[in-house]
Amino acid sequence: MPNSSPVVAAALSRGVAIWSEVEFAARFLQNRWLAITGTNGKTTTTELAGQILRDAGRPVEVAGNVGRALANLPGAIEPGAVVVAELSSFQLEHIERFRPDVAVLLNLTEDHIDRHGSYTGYVAAKLRIFENQAPGDLALVNGDDPGVAAAVAAGLPGRGRRGTFSLSPATPCSGAAGEAGAGSLLAGVTGGVLWAQTAAGREELCPLAALALKGEHNVANSLAAAAAAAALGVSASDIAATLQTFPGVVHRLQVVGVVDGVTWVNDSKATNVDAALKALTAYSGPVYMILGGSLKGASFDPLAMGTEGRVKQAILIGAAAGALRTAFERRRAAVGERATPFVALPDLEAAVAHAAAAAAPGDVVLLSPACASFDRYRNFEHRGEHFAALVERLGQRR
Q: Which residues are known to be catalytic?
A: 42, 65, 112
The C-alpha atoms of residue 282 and residue 179 are separated, in whole angstroms, by 36
The C-alpha atoms of residue 10 and residue 16 are separated, in whole angstroms, by 9
The C-alpha atoms of residue 125 and residue 127 are separated, in whole angstroms, by 6
Let me know how long the chain is: 398
Chain centroid to Cα 395, Å, comes to 30
Concatenated DSSP letters for 305-338?
HHTTTT-SEEEEESTTHHHHHHHHHHHHHHHGGG
Q: Which of 346, 385, 348, 344 is nearest to 365 (CA)?
A: 348
Q: Which of 204, 347, 366, 179 is nearest to 286 (CA)?
A: 366
Classify each residue of 243-264 as buried b or exposed e, where b means 16 or more C-beta atoms within 10 Å of its C-beta: beebebbbbbbbebbebeebbb
3-state class (DSSP) for residue 188: strand
117 φ/ψ sector (left φ>0, alpha ψ -120 to 50, else beta): left
CA distances from 248 to 31, 41, 140, 268, 392 (A): 26, 11, 22, 14, 20
Phi and psi at residue 298, to the nearest 5°: -90, 160
